[in-house]
Amino acid sequence: MKHPTFSRLCLPICILLATSVLSGCPTLPTSGPSLKTVSTMPTQPVVEPQPEAELPKVEIIDLNDAVSMRLAQANAPQSLTDLADGRASNPDAIGMGDVLEITLWESSPAVLFGGAINSMGAGSAQTVKLPEQMVGANGTVSIPFLGSLNVRGKTPEQVQQQIIAGLRRKANQPQALVRVVQNNSANATVIRAGKSVRMPLTSHRERVLDAVAAVGGVESGVQDISLQLTRGNQVRAVALERITAEPTQNIVLRSGDVLTMQSNPLSFTALGAVGKNQTVNFAAKGMNLSEALGTVGGLLDRRSDARGVFVFRYQPLTSLSADEQITWRNQGYSDHMSIPVVYRINLMEPHSLFWLQRFAMQDKDVIYVANAPASELQKFLQLLFSPVVSGVNSIESLTN
């Protein structure tokens, strides 16, 4: 049997609290915008360019098979293997700026470089060591009785044979020894924060990881380092962790290569109805959206709207499709500008689980999962009736 005091007080208190809640709380507490709010954000209108037109607000893109495939192709990890095309440079070849030491021999009796002749008419072999010479801009060095000799691109052994052939009709059984005493042409530059070196390349065929060792290794974890290799007008960036795991990525360096060690920890932020709102660091080799959601505990069953998973990011205008680029340019954007883009994922679609695996996370991405409408109703009922139940319990305690 209900307590008479409870019967008399319950209805007025409920009416009073409901009135105060509805009038004083126009919105319920929430962790962010709803699915409808995000989906109706101002987007770029397709209109003719106008001088005073307002710039577009945001680009909302629904993730599907076509979009996920395009993103996967655009964000495919770079590789160093295509630079190892079998045309490895010859580090033994002499180049401009190299310093050579040249030594000449002539058998006795030496007739070109001179030599002492004894009473029996025999003489000793004569050795001439030329002053060290730097290979000039025209690729030549000067040799007595031969003049300027082009040595660029030749090995020391080839230069020796060239000298011997030139002196054979002028000297008695000539011999030559050519040695590179200072290598200024066959070098790779290795750059790391706080330290940089020019690493000479030898016939050992130094590789990418040799360059990492030459600069003193890494200061932070291997997973946070990416290596950028610049070769001519080609640039590739690959995670160091991948190079250590895949021998084919550890390619032979060439003269003129520039290897830059980049230590930029990547991160994304998860907000809304996920297991844990936090900022998460991820390795330089990358992470896809399914891994990112798993890292933060996935979606909350009682709160999340599986149709309202969003990824907010700034990305270059040139990364959009051709039609989208035209629309943004008509609104005043140029190629060097980044635009705000929201990717919308509906996890109620079975194929979305494959889309998540193709979707590569980028640095400073924000994942947001909207609350389900039922969650908003549950919060309203809890906010409405929790004070009533608490107040009735207090009244019952007082009457008892």
CA angle 61, 63, 64 (to 5 degrees): 130
Q: Give counts: helices (H), strands (E), the chain.
A: 10, 17
d(CA 109, CA 124): 6
Confidence at residue 15, expressed as pLDDT on a 0 to 100 scale: 46
How far, in Å, CA of 369 to CA of 91, rounded? Answer: 56
What's the pLDDT at 72? 87
> How much is the pLDDT for 262?
87
Q: Which of 189, 218, 223, 221 is nearest to 206 (CA)?
A: 189
Averaged pLDDT, 191-195: 84
| Neighbour-count burial for 194-207, b at 16+ CB within 10 Å, e otherwise | eeeeebbbeeeebb
Q: Which residue has the tokens 């790391």?
A: 192
CA distance 360 to 288: 4
Higher-pLDDT residue of 110, 62: 62
Task: Count Cα neighbours of 113 within 13 Å in the Cβ-side half-sphere.
Answer: 22
> What was the pLDDT predicted at 230?
94
pLDDT score, position 128: 85
In the prediction, which pLDDT does 21 show?
44
- At 309-361, the pLDDT tens digits run 999 999 888 877 788 888 888 888 888 888 888 999 999 998 999 999 999 99
**Cα–Cα distance measured from residue 10 to residue 12, given in angstroms and rounded to the nearest whole number:** 6
Give the largest Cα separation in the chain, rounded: 147
Pairing of strands 258-263, 187-192: parallel
Q: How far is CA 369 from the centre of its chain?
A: 27
What tokens were used for 80?
């160093």
The pLDDT of residue 38 is above 90: no
**How is residue 274 annotated by DSSP?**
B
| pLDDT class of 280 with cuts at 50, 70, 90 | very high
Q: Tell me, which fold does domain 81-86+187-263 have in CATH?
A: Outer membrane lipoprotein wza fold like (3.10.560)
Reported as a pLDDT band with limits 50, 70 and 90, residue 88 is low
The yes-or-no verdict on residue 28 having pLDDT over 60 is: no
Distance CA 188, CA 258 (A): 6
Q: How far apart are CA 378 and CA 368, in angstroms?
A: 20
Distance CA 77, CA 283 (A): 13
The DSSP secondary-structure symbol of 376 reads: H
CATH homologous superfamily of 35-76+286-376 equals: Outer membrane lipoprotein wza domain like (3.10.560.10)
Question: Any long-range contacts for 35-41 (C-beta under 8 Å, 24+ apart)?
Answer: 35/305, 35/307, 35/308, 35/370, 38/308, 38/310, 38/342, 38/344, 38/368, 38/370, 39/308, 39/344, 41/342
Q: Is the pLDDT of residue 29 over 60?
A: no
| Candidates 1.10.1660.10, 3.40.50.620, 3.40.190.10, 3.30.1950.10; CATH matching 99-182 | 3.30.1950.10
pLDDT (0 to 100) of residue 290: 94
Domain ranges of the chain: 35-76+286-376, 81-86+187-263, 99-182
Do domains 81-86+187-263 and 99-182 share one topology? The answer is no
The answer to whether the beta carbons of residues 260 and 228 sit under 8 Å apart is: yes
What tens digit of pLDDT does each residue of 351-384 get?
A: 999 999 999 999 999 999 998 875 555 555 555 5
Q: What is the DSSP string of 330-357?
A: HTT--TT-EEEEEEEE-TTSTTHHHHHH
State yes or no: pLDDT of 157 exceeds 80: yes
Q: What radius of gyration do the chain's Cα atoms show?
A: 38
Residue 85 pLDDT: 64
Instruction: Choose between 257 and 392: higher pLDDT.
Output: 257
Who has greater pLDDT, 57 or 214? 214
What would the pLDDT profile of 111-142 be if each residue is shown by its tens digit?
Answer: 666 654 444 545 556 788 889 999 988 989 99
